Chain A
Amino acid sequence: MNELTTTLQIPVSTLVELVFYVVVGIYAIFSAILYFHWQQYASNAKVTGLTLGIYLATTVPLIILMGVVVFIV
């Protein structure tokens, strides 16, 4: 009995790049939702500013690091 098998070969670099785009997409959507909720429903502008500031300060460097790994290294 002949078995038909297909092997899909994707280079690791392409796979990592694809994962990067997916993660950046999720991050962008999540950030927009987070921003909307804090702008619309929070009761204190100071806490809103602090939360969004910490969020950006902790996540943007990680996105940059991932981008550096994908496109430069």
Chain B
Amino acid sequence: MQFAFTNEQRDFRDILRRFLTARSPSTEIRRLMETDQGWERETWKKLNQEMGLAGVHVPEAYGGQGFGCVELSIVLEEMGRALLCAPYFASAVLATTAILNAGTEEQKEALLPDIVTGEVVATLAFAEDNGRWDADGVTMTAEASGGSYRLSGTKSFVLDGHSADLIVVLARQPGTSGDKGLSFFTVAADAKGLSRKALKVMDPTRKLARLSFDKVEAKLLGEAGKAAEPFAKTMTQAVVCLASEMAGGAEKLRETSLEYVKLRMQFGRPIASFQSMKHKHADMLIDVEMAKSTAYYAAAAFDDNAKDLLAVASLAKACCADAYMQTAIHAIQVRGGIGFTWDEDTHLWFKRAKSSEVFLGDPSYHRELMLQHWAA
């Protein structure tokens, strides 16, 4: 198990941090989050041409860089830190991973290179109005008709679902339940019978959509009725990635809060000299460092295919979500009134902390999963 980053990985992080700091200042975050789409196609393509980020974890055969989950998690941590407005999680994490886990060789060769270059933006539609994150929650049906399939039903909480070009959809054979009868499909954004509605979101840096399918023609991805396992693996990797993203956001908030209290003068001295602030910052440091440790461990466990991976992934999700949210609460509090204003940037990360806390399952949900997997 890897407990320290290699020098190459550290260099990669440094370059990435400089790059994202330059590309994603808060003026840029605010400009993009006010748009309906939430990201820009040209910037997204440029990002992938210059840094190849969308293909970090994609094998070279499909145009990627062939690295593992540890490197992917570095990217996520830095993006969470920079609060980059881009379809990275939807396209590079969720959709790409689902295609890698479920697709046939032919499908991977056909789909992945364009996603890696940013030419095609993809997403994964699995959750529905019931708000569940597991296979049991899937009710959308796929009826076989001739050589293709027709999807009917509704998908919700779809990340960048209103702006993606390609939608990977999880649906089931009518009459099945649980892990049985599940299949992945791909649907083009302009398919007939598909209507997409951007949802009004609490966190404007993470756009969600509700997609209604009325007998929409879809192509099977991978094997019919066999999507349960690749879906579970995709969720595990997504959970690990989200943990890293949250750890990065939490650390950014901790650092900016520290800078703030060192500059803010009250009662004739920097408020950083008051024990109430010092003790809070010591606690924030502990929360963030422990969160980082779980995220790093989970990414390494994924690459090692560790026996307790499922427990560890859920542990990291729960730990990082709690740490991010707690750090965000402290970050607003130490700034006092200014922290509650729109013009101050803290709320941007606060909202991301809140949406990430719930996305892919909240901490209680993952703690329960963790205990089940550990006992098993």
B and A form one assembly: no
Q: Which residues from chain A sit less than 8 Å from chain B, CB to CB?
A: none
